[in-house]
Amino acid sequence: MSYAPALLQDFHITEYTPSFRTQLWNLFVSGMSQNDEAAKDDGMRRAISTLIDNARLEVARVGSLSCPKNGGKTFLALDRSKQVIGMLAVKRSEEDIRDRSVELRRISVAHQWRRRGVCRALVDHAVEYIKATFDSQWMHLVTYSSMGPALCTYKSLGFKAQGDDSSDGPLRLVKLVRKI
C-alpha cells in the first residue's frame, strides 16, 4: 500500500464527547478484530480476545481512560461526515509521575485511513495539548511487540523503544518514549 496523506480538510481533530461512544467502540473493535484475523496462532487470538474484553471496560468508561481530573483527554479524528476515524487518549503517567511523563493510550486509526496522516495529526495535537497542560518533558506509550505496523508508525513519529525487555513471545510489551 502506498502512502497517500490526507489533506487536513479531509478530517479534523476534536475532543471526545459521549455522543461518540458507540463509534469509538466500533473503531477499536474493528482494529483489534483485524489483528485477530492476522494472528498466526491460537494463543495470539486468545490474547487479542482478552484485550478486546479489557478494552470494552475501558471504552465503556472512556472518561476515566484519560483521567480528566488530572488533565487527561481523549481526542478523536473525525472525517467530513463526522465519523470517528481515529482516537488517542492522553493522561498523566501513573508509573512515571516522578519523571513527569505523559502517557498516550488507546491509539487507533480506522483501517482505510491508515498511512494517511491521521495518527501523526493525533500525536501532533496531543503534543500541543501536553505542552499547554503538563509540565512534562517526555511522553510514552506501550504496545505489544507483535504490532509491527504500529511499532513502525510510532518510530516514524520519533518514539524510541526503551529498556531491554528479555521476555519473549507475541505479547511482550514494548515501551516507546519521545521527548516533547
Q: Is residue 71 one of the residues assigned to a domain? A: yes
Looking at the predicted structure, is the pLDDT value of residue 94 above 80? no
Which residues make Cβ contacts (< 8 Å) with residue 126, sequence separation at least 6? 75, 88, 90, 104, 139
Average pLDDT, the chain: 80
The fraction of the chain above a pLDDT of 90, given in percent, is: 39
Which CATH number fits the domain that encloses residue 134?
Answer: 3.40.630.30
Beta strands 138-144; 101-109: pairing state? parallel
C-alpha cell at 116: 494517511
pLDDT at 3: 45
Alpha carbon separation from 129 to 59, 70, 116 (Å, rounded): 21, 13, 22
**DSSP single-letter state for residue 81:** T
Looking at the predicted structure, is the pLDDT value of residue 71 above 50? yes
Q: Is residue 122 one of the residues assigned to a domain? A: yes
Q: What is the pLDDT of residues 16-62, one digit of tens each?
A: 988 888 888 888 777 766 654 555 567 666 666 676 666 666 665 55
Domain count across the chain: 1
* Residue type for position 61: R
Q: Is residue 22 one of the residues assigned to a domain? A: yes
Pick the residue with more confidence: 178 or 101?
Answer: 178
pLDDT at 12: 94
Pick the residue with more confidence: 166 or 104?
Answer: 104
Q: Where in the sequence is the domain holding 47, given as residue range(s)?
A: 8-179
Which of 55-59, 64-68, 97-101, 143-147 has the highest mean predicted lDDT (pLDDT)?
A: 143-147
Lowest mean pLDDT among 85-99, 112-126, 144-158: 85-99
Q: pTM for this one? A: 0.81
Looking at the predicted structure, is the pLDDT value of residue 85 above 90? yes
Q: Is residue 2 one of the residues assigned to a domain? A: no
Q: Is residue 3 one of the residues assigned to a domain? A: no
Q: Is residue 69 one of the residues assigned to a domain? A: yes
What does the alpha-carbon distance between residue 66 and residue 58 come to, in Å, rounded to a whole number? 10
Q: Which residue has the cell 476515524?
A: 85
Q: Is residue 129 one of the residues assigned to a domain? A: yes
Q: Is residue 95 one of the residues assigned to a domain? A: yes
